[in-house]
């Protein structure tokens, strides 16, 4: 089964490992007929896909589970949602289609909120960044410091104002290796335009799925082909 869940409120600070522990407890409490690996230390067969970085909220996180018998997706959704802590919320459960889930997660749509930033300043910074063809950023990985382009994967970047008057940036970022995260884009904007917000923006992943260059949209990865 393929499952979409949201990470909201203070639970945006939970890591993938934290969620994994909470999910295994929830699966046991909810009575989902889980399949387990073989060997001396069997584990439930769960596969996680492209989780957002710790600190980012998300409405579109995904994982797969293997079950030992046919179950109703709506019943699984209700049982898991009840068993998970508040802030980790099940959005959708479907039977898995053929093919890998990871292949259907091609791009993400992000919302960044900039408290204390004037819209005009954000507009100028984003326009300056999008005018570039290539902007290098650096990040420390397990194998050391790595430099990569943070401009190329950004397909769209639109500024605006939220209902509370906060300046916002909505952007679509294609999934690449290494993955370009919202903080990478902010570093690239700073490198290209010297724009640095007074405090870190709030990042929320609104969607991830199949990228269409024709419609410039991100399609639901759980939808039927």
- Residue 163 in any domain: the answer is yes
pLDDT score, position 189: 97
Length of the chain: 225
CATH assignment of the domain containing 35 = 3.30.70.580
The verdict on 149 and 125 lying in the same domain is yes
- More confident site: 17 or 132: 132
Residues 51 and 14 in one domain: yes
* pLDDT computed for residue 217 by the predictor: 86
56 and 120, same structural domain? no
Q: CA-to-CA distance for 57 and 181, rounded, in angstroms?
A: 13
In this predicted structure, the answer to whether residue 216 has a pLDDT above a threshold of 90 is no
**How confident is the model over 122-128, as a mean pLDDT?**
97
Residues 31 and 55 in one domain: yes
Query: In whole angstroms, what is the distance from residue 172 CA to residue 216 CA?
Result: 9
Q: Are residues 135 and 152 in the same domain?
A: yes
- Phi, psi values for residue 178, rounded to 5°: -70, 160
Query: Are 75 and 160 part of one and the same domain?
Result: no
Shared domain check, 206 and 145 = yes
Residue 18 is predicted with a pLDDT of 92
Q: How far apart are CA 129 and CA 133, in angstroms?
A: 9
Q: Are residues 59 and 117 in the same domain?
A: no
Residue 11's pLDDT is 94
Q: Which residues pair with 222 in a beta bridge?
A: none
Tell whether 30 and 42 lie within a shared domain: yes
* Same domain, residue pair 99 and 11: yes
Whether residue 39 is found in the same domain as residue 135: no
Query: What's the mean per-residue pLDDT of the chain?
Result: 94
Query: Would residue 152 count as lying in a domain?
Result: yes
Flag whether 187 is in a domain. Answer: yes
- Whether residue 109 sits in one domain with residue 191: yes
Residue by residue, what is the 3-state secondary structure of the chain?
Answer: CEEEEEECHHHHHCCHHHHHHHHHHHHHHHCCCECECCCCCCCECEEEECCCCCCCEEEEEEEEECECCCCCHHHHHHHHHHHCCCCEEEEEEECCCCCCCHHHCCEEEEEEEECCCCHHHHHHHHHHHHCCCCCEEEEEECCEEEEEECCCCEEEEEEEECCCCCEEEEEEEECCCCCCCHHHHHHHHHHHHCCCCCCCCEEEEEEEEEEECCCCEEECCCCCC
Please choose, from the candidates 47, 49, 45, 94, the residue with its C-alpha nearest in 3D space to the C-alpha of residue 66.
45
Q: What is the pLDDT of residues 23-53, one digit of tens each?
A: 999 999 999 999 999 888 888 999 999 999 9
In a domain, 186, yes or no: yes
Position 200 in a domain: yes
145 beta partners: 140
Q: Which two tokens stand for residue 47?
A: 């596969």
Evaluate whether residue 224 is within a structural domain. no
pLDDT digit string (tens) for 171-183? 999 999 999 999 9
- Of 86, 103, 120, which marks where a domain is finished? 103
Which CATH number do you get for residue 162? 3.30.70
When divided into structural domains, the chain yields a total of: 2
pLDDT band at 190 (very low <50, low <70, confident <90, very high): very high
Position 116 in a domain: yes
Domain region containing 99: 2-103
């Amino acid at each position: 089964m393929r499952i979409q869940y949201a990470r909201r409120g203070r639970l945006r600070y939970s890591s993938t490992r934290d969620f994994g522990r909470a999910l295994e407890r929830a699966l046991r409490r909810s009575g989902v007929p889980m399949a387990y690996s073989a060997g001396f230390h069997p584990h439930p067969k769960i596969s996680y896909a492209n989780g957002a970085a710790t600190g980012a909220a998300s409405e579109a996180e995904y994982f797969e589970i293997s079950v030992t018998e046919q179950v109703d997706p709506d019943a699984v959704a209700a049982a898991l949602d009840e068993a998970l802590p508040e802030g980790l919320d099940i959005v959708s459960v479907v039977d898995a289609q053929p093919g890998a889930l990871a292949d259907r997660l091609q791009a993400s749509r992000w919302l960044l909120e900039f408290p204390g930033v004037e819209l005009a300043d954000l507009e100028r910074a984003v326009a300056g960044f999008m005018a570039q063809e290539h902007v290098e950023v650096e990040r420390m990985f397990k194998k050391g410091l790595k430099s990569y382009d943070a401009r190329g994967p950004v397909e769209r970047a639109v500024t605006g104002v939220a209902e509370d008057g906060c300046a916002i940036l909505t952007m679509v970022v294609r999934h690449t290796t290494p993955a370009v995260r919202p903080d990478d884009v902010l570093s690239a904007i700073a490198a290209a335009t010297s724009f640095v917000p007074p405090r870190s923006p709030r990042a929320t992943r609104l969607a991830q799925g199949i990228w269409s260059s024709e419609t410039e949209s991100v399609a639901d990865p759980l939808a039927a082909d």
